[in-house]
Amino acid sequence: MRGTLLVLNAGSSSIKFETFAAGPAPVALMGGQVEGIGAVPHLRLRDAAGALLADRGWQDGGAPRDHAEALDAILGALGDLRPAAIGHRVVHGGPDLAAPAAIDDAMMARLEALVPLAPLHQPHNLAGIRACAARFPGVPQLACFDTAFHRTHPWEADTYALPPEFHARGIRRYGFHGLSYEWIARLVAAEDPALAAGRLVVAHLGNGASLCAIRGGRSLDSSMGFTALDGVPMGTRSGQIDPGVLLHLIEAEGMTAAELSRLLYAGAGLKGMSGLSQDVRVLEASADPRAAAALSHFTWRVRREVGALAAAMGGIDALVFTAGIGENSAGIRAAVCEGLGYLGLHLDPARNRDGLPDVSAPGSPARILIRRTDEEAMIALHLTEALAGGPAGA
């Protein structure tokens, strides 16, 4: 297959994009994003090495007002590209979609029906698909879901302790960050098939954060549940919280659903706790005790989750750190691994400081790895497989 693959990740006020030269192993060409759609839009375009190719605002007027116009701005910056196929990151595939899905009218209707499960993200993902369909009629589009990789969870990991009709109504532990976990699972499988056949805990620690137990290359359980709020604390999200706290805030303090939503999604986590920032770099550089306290709580909860997921698998052969914090913060990795020797996880301080791919101490029974995640490359790989009639296309 020849030509260019376009990968889009449409959020509420941004569209991230990346292009790849199609082929059995797609090669990244350019990428970037339009931010501030609907407010003060700004476009940045970089080549595969990260060099800035375009950087523009629209002070002179003509700024993109919606996703369709932002897409036009992206395509203009890309030199009026006509992609051979387009892949989209879509947050929710519901309980049944366990693989990427080719887009047609029926699939769009199915994905629309899932909007209530992810009201903050799914509508924007679908707006990106619609904008592409209008701009490129006939060009194949593929939806790649954050939930799909987790559809191998056993029922015990998929359910809440509620009467069964709630599960039937879709109140389930879907799990998210699936494209990242799938990328890491494939990366480890390509490097070390014996390790990939074993038990991995992958810690995707970025602005959003979750952990996943992967056994034999398949997701067994994950820290995120019905929404991307569950599990460990995040940049601005609370992570797991006693549901009784929410009842108290509603009943005793009169908080509304909208107020709770703002608190849990945007006013909690590292930013809410520290009162300073959601960025680990800022918190690590700060002398404010609230910064240290927030980081300490974060690593406490991540460490607990490593233990819980290792327990779910009956042990652990490797802990893999990934995403912005996991890939870059030696301090967070060291704090998470403190006291995990009982699981056979021993960190080498010097290797960790240098951020080497394998940061385990010599002789550590279980390995500690750092791997770069690449959700866009995972989507490009899904596109390649779908176009070749491969595994994708459920």
Q: Is 131 left (phi over 0), alpha (psi -120 to 50) or beta?
A: alpha
Calculate the dihedral angle through the C-alpha atoms of 335, 340, 344, 350, rounding to the nearest 10 degrees.
20
Residue 231 or 324 with smaller CB distance to ligand AMP: 324
Q: How far is the CB of 324 from ligand AMP (least distance, A)?
A: 2
Q: How far is the CB of 205 from ligand AMP (least distance, A)?
A: 8
Q: Is 67 left (phi over 0), alpha (psi -120 to 50) or beta?
A: alpha
Residue 56 or 372 with smaller CB distance to ligand AMP: 372
Q: How far is the CB of 11 from ligand AMP (least distance, A)?
A: 12
Inter-CA distances, 316 with 3, 8, 226, 258, 322, Å: 42, 34, 25, 40, 17
Q: State whether residue 283 is helix, strand or coil.
A: helix
Residue 98 or 292 with smaller CB distance to ligand AMP: 292
d(CA 134, CA 112): 17
DSSP string, 6-48: EEEEE-SS-EEEEEEE-SSS-EEEEEEEEE-TTSS-EEEEEET
Residue 178 or 235 with smaller CB distance to ligand AMP: 235
- Under the rule (CB under 6 A), what is the footprint of ligand AMP? 206-207, 235, 278-281, 323-325, 328-329
Q: How far is the CB of 339 from ligand AMP (least distance, A)?
A: 21
Q: Which residues are catalytic?
A: 146
